[in-house]
Amino acid sequence: MRSTYDIIEQTFQQERGRVLATLLSLLRDIELAEDALQDALVTALERWSTTGVPHNPGAWLTTAARNKAIDRLRRSQTFQRNQALLLAQLEATAESEDEEMLQPDDIPDERLKLIFTCCHPALAKEAQVALTLQTLGGLTTPEIARAFLIPLPTMAQRLVRAKRKIRDAGIPYQVPPAHTIEERLDAVLAVLYLIFSAGYSAASGDDLVRHDLCEEAIRLTRVLVLLLTQERGAGAATEANGLLALMLLHHARRYARQTSVGDIVLLEDQDRTLWDKDNITEGTAILQATLWLRQPGAYQIQAAIAALHAQATHADATDWQQIAALYGALYRDFAPTPVVALNRAVAVAMAEGYTAGLKLIDQLEDTGELTDYYLFHAAKADLLRRTGWFDEAFSAYQRALSLCENSAEKAFLQRRLSEVEQQMQA
Amino acid sequence: MQYMFLIYGNEKAEATTTPEEGQAEMQAYFGLNAEARAKNVYVVAEALHPTSSATSVRSRDGKLMTTDGPFAETREQLGGFYILNCKDLDEAIEWAGKIPGVKHGTVEIRPIVDFSAPQN
């Protein structure tokens, strides 16, 4: 049986982001809002342990936190004109509401504003990620520090600086106007994808905090999709939906990507019965509904590629022709990066033959852009190995190994290197 | 709130502009000033002589030391500034995008401390 404490803890986790977003629209100061919410949580823990969780915990917490903010402002040593104004405003509305009477619909969901504030381009990317996880995800500073393998004081400092900059530089608390929303939404999606990727490429599956990052990224993307659709229509949420589908389709493979001892299992060798069918069904449905709107984008194309992999019942049934074409479109229309070109080269190799792929790899190598990218050398080594050119494959694996820093991936490359070495001797 | 817009550019490159280009840029600045005044955000704006005219002064142990040149040798130099009254950083970023120098240099936005607002 779950203890009252567990239920309260879970309620806090669920409600925190939304309550904080509402508080921020009242208080316009993240630090004050967080402090007031913390005070309210302490009171809630005491009260709810005896009375049980109220019918509408979010509204209860919002009202309680607002009252705590009033207390804090009254006690404030450095009482300023702006704070006096804020206090007067809060007091004017404080008596009009009974905390138990509030219905969820009475309080508008302000989380979309909070997402755009946290992912404002005037903040450093790593600060955007940390802020989003803390304010909307409800992760603690130590959890975020552990997830990104950064010392706790560094992460704490980063969060404090970002919150001060929001206040001092006047970063607005709003959903950007129509003429800038597309560009600003790109930044939000990039942050959510970074959170997902940090969890997805975690060194080992037993590190729970990092594993949870994927789930958290998916949850936040769901919130973004829902609110964007409500406030700006389905047409504004196509790329957000594309990202959600992409995450779900990748997340579906989580149990098949590593062995029980943490060894990497490549896509073609994965036991596809371990793939999460619910994730695949949902991701594919979201993607199809989104493609129907005919506003293609980079995330939708990547999701379409992931969907093609998900549809193949075994590796040989993969539609590489289609995947190569999608990477071509991704490169041509949205993301002309060397990494996309590398992915396309691999898809071409699988669709048309290894020599065709290796030709593209050679062209990429001549540009020099991927010289220090271990996945380039790993992909090249793999194609050379498949072709039977073991000497060249051996040196490419060695190069990849010297550049790779992830222990699980290093172990995989080492295995391949030994296999190729045996072939060379045979 | 008030923001200062520091306009940095490469003095060497700017010295090679033709008189026509210089005229066009000046006209663009006049146009911006007029727009900022009309929209009631204008506080002050000035252009600076090149860093070759700069003098740096510091006082140590009561002794005044004066040296020729700017505070720091940088690839781009401060060439002028605006102070505008904007609602928030998003509005300030929009104005920064209208400053002619943004096309070949960098505009740094700095919020101005309001001593009537809460401080840490």
Domain spans of chain B? 2-75+87-102
Residue B4: closest CA among chain A residues belongs to which residue?
A169
Please determine, for residue A128, whether its predicted confidence score (pLDDT) is greater than 60. Answer: yes
pLDDT of A251 above 60: yes
Q: Is the pLDDT assigned to residue B91 strictly greater than 60?
A: yes
Q: What is the mean pLDDT of residues B27-45?
A: 97
Minimum Cα–Cα distance from A164: chain B residue: B120
- Min CA distance, A125 vs chain B (Å)? 17
pLDDT at B95: 98
Whole-number average pLDDT of chain B: 93
Cβ separation A170–B111 shorter than 8 A? yes
- Does A103 touch chain B if contact means CB atoms closer than 8 Å? no
Contacts of A164 in chain B (CB under 8 A): 120
The pLDDT confidence band at residue A407, using thresholds 50, 70 and 90, is confident
Residues in A touching B92 (Cβ below 8 Å): 170
Q: What is the mean pLDDT of chain A?
A: 89
Exposure of A342 in the CB half-sphere (CA atoms within 13 A): 20
CB contact under 8 A, A172 and B90: yes
Can you tell me the distance from the alpha carbon of A26 to that of A220, in angstroms, rounded to the nearest whole number?
A: 22
For residues A78 and B115, the answer to whether their CB atoms sit within 8 Å is: no
What pLDDT is recorded for position A183? 87
- Tell me the average pLDDT across A86-106: 63
What is the rounded distance in angstroms from the CA atom of residue B29 to the CA atom of residue A42? Answer: 56
For A222, residues 6+ apart whose C-beta sits below 8 A from its C-beta are A244
Chain B residues with CB under 8 Å of A80 CB are 116-119
Interface test with A, best of B2, B41, B89 (most A CBs within 10 A): B89
pLDDT at A2: 67
Nearest residue in B to A168, CA atom:
B111
Question: A171–B92: do the CB atoms touch at under 8 Å?
Answer: no
Contact indicator for A240, A228 with CB cutoff of 8 Å: yes
pLDDT at A419: 94
Q: Using 50, 70 and 90 to split pLDDT, how confident is the model at A205?
A: very low
Would you say residue B73 has pLDDT above 50?
Answer: yes
Residue A234 is classified by DSSP as: G
Q: For B98-115, how does the pLDDT look when each residue is reduced to its tens digit (9 = 90+)?
A: 999 999 999 999 999 988
- Quote the minimal CA–CA distance from B102 to chain A in Å: 16
Judged on CB neighbours under 10 Å (0-12, 13-18, 19+), B2 is: middle
Contacts of B89 in chain A (CB under 8 A): 120, 122, 169-172
* Contact call for A172 and B116, based on CB within 8 A: no
List residues in chain B touching A: CB distance below 8 A.
1, 3, 86-90, 92-93, 109, 111, 116-120
In the three-class reduction of DSSP (H, G, I as helix; E, B as strand; rest coil), residue A139 is classed as coil
More confident residue, B42 or B116: B42
Most A-contacting residue of B90, B107, B110 (CB-CB within 10 A), to test interface: B90
CA–CA distances in Å: residue A113 to residues A28, A81, A136, A310, A317: 12, 26, 11, 34, 44
Task: Identify residue A20 by its one-letter amino acid code.
Answer: L
Nearest to B118 among A82, A169, A176 (CB): A82
How far apart are alpha carbons B116 and B60 in whole angstroms?
32
Q: Which of A82, A83, A170 sits opposite B89 (nearest CB)?
A: A170
- Comparing A49-63, A79-93, A109-123, the range with the smallest average pLDDT is A79-93
The pTM score is 0.85
Percent residues over pLDDT 90 in chain A: 64
Residue B120 — very low, low, confident or very high, per pLDDT cuts 50/70/90? very low
**Do B88 and A172 make contact, defined as CB atoms within 8 angstroms?**
yes
What are the pLDDT digits (tens) for A279-311? 999 999 999 999 999 999 999 999 999 999 999
The model's pLDDT over A20-33, given as tens digits with 9 standing for 90+, comes to 999 998 888 888 99
Q: Could A78 and B119 be called an inter-chain contact, meaning their C-beta atoms sit closer than 8 Å?
A: yes
Partner B contacted by A174 (CB < 8 A): yes
Among A82, A120, A122, beta carbon nearest to B117: A82
Looking at residue A239, its amino acid is E
Query: How large is the C-alpha radius of gyration of chain A?
Result: 25
Q: What is the mean pLDDT of residues A304-320?
A: 96
CA distance A96 to chain B (A): 28
Beta strands in chain B (DSSP E): 2-9, 42-47, 55-60, 63-68, 77-85, 106-111
Res. A83: pLDDT tops 50: yes
For residue A162, the chain B residues in CB contact (below 8 A) are none
CA distance A54 to A353: 64
Largest CA distance in chain A: 85
**Separation of alpha carbons A268 and A280, rounded Å:** 17
Residue among A83, A120, A174 whose CB faces B118 most closely: A83
Q: Tell me which chain A residue has its CA closest to the CA of residue B120.
A: A78
Contact A66, A87 (CB under 8 A): no
Looking at the complex, does the CB of residue A83 fall below 8 Å from at least one CB of chain B? yes
* Range B23-31 average pLDDT: 95
Query: Which fold, B2-75+87-102?
Result: Alpha-Beta Plaits (3.30.70)
ipTM of this complex prediction, to 2 decimal places: 0.85
Establish, for the pair of chains A and B, how many residue pairs have beta carbons separated by less than 8 Å. 38
Distance between CA atoms of A352 and B83, rounded to whole angstroms? 61
Max avg pLDDT among A53-67, A260-274, B28-42:
B28-42
A82 touching B (Cβ < 8 Å): yes
Return the pLDDT at A89.
76
Q: Mean per-residue pLDDT for B55-75?
A: 92
Min Cα separation A132/chain B (Å):
19
CB contact under 8 A, B117 and A170: no
